[in-house]
Amino acid sequence: MFQRARKVMIKLIQGDITDQEVDAIVNAANNHLWMGGGVAGAIKRKGGARIEKEAMSKGPIPVGEALATNGGDLKARYVIHAAVMGQDLVTSQEHIREATQNSLKRAEELKVQSIAFPALGTGVGGFPVDRCAEIMLEQVRVFAKKLKYLKEVRFVLFDKRSYDIWSARLQPD
């Protein structure tokens, strides 16, 4: 049986992920789900401590896994916490690949139509932005064939340098 791959719109945005009007945003989390600095800290500051409290009550989770919580005071209804690193705050291409896949799975389970990702592991985790872009874009393209609900995937890059790197790697399908 032949099925055509479902088209998902991929957008790049330079800005603050906590300002996105989407159904879910992804948090670049550690596996114990405490929200300290980087993207997690920004989400906690803007969305409220109850997001961290709910996440930690469901953890810890394996590195590479993802789980969803409410969006607190954010515009997004959900936060999907992608455990891209352990307590050592070190990540790898495999962790980023798995965390991206599992975030997309959680989005489908929640039946959301739009999701915003940061560049997972490139802040606190120190992973190269160019490799992150390649890995995450590849995973969205691969997973797009299985999607039923998700129609838009945004990658929200905080600075111009990261945005430019991602733009160079975003090729039309």
Asked if the structure places residue 3 within a domain, the reply is no
Matching residue, tokens 């975030």: 103
In a domain, 18, yes or no: yes
pLDDT score of 6: 57
Nearest of 151, 152, 155 to residue 168 by alpha carbon: 155
Cβ–Cβ under 8 Å, residues 57 and 45: no
- Which tens digits make up the pLDDT trace of 99-153? 999 999 999 999 999 999 999 999 888 999 999 999 999 999 898 888 889 999 9
20: in domain: yes
What is the 3-state secondary structure of the chain? CCCCCCCCEEEEEECCHHHCCCCEEEEEEECCCCCCCHHHHHHHHHHCHHHHHHHHHHCCCCCCCEEEEECCCCCCCEEEEEEEECCCCCCCHHHHHHHHHHHHHHHHHHCCCEEEECCCCCCCCCCCHHHHHHHHHHHHHHHHHHCCCCCEEEEEECCHHHHHHHHHHCCCC
For residue 35, what is the domain's CATH number? 3.40.220.10
Would the CA dihedral through 82, 86, 88, 90 be positive or negative? negative
What's the pTM?
A: 0.93
> 22: domain range?
9-169
Residue 29 lies inside a defined structural domain of this protein: yes
Residue 92 lies in a domain: yes
Q: Is 4 inside a domain boundary?
A: no
Domain presence at residue 1 = no
Average pLDDT, the chain: 92
Beta strands 24-30 and 114-117, pairing class: parallel
Higher per-residue confidence, 6 vs 91: 91
Tell me how many domains the chain contains: 1
pLDDT at 2 over 60: no
pLDDT at 124: 84
In this prediction, residue 3 has a pLDDT band, given cuts at 50, 70 and 90, of: very low
136 belongs to a structural domain: yes
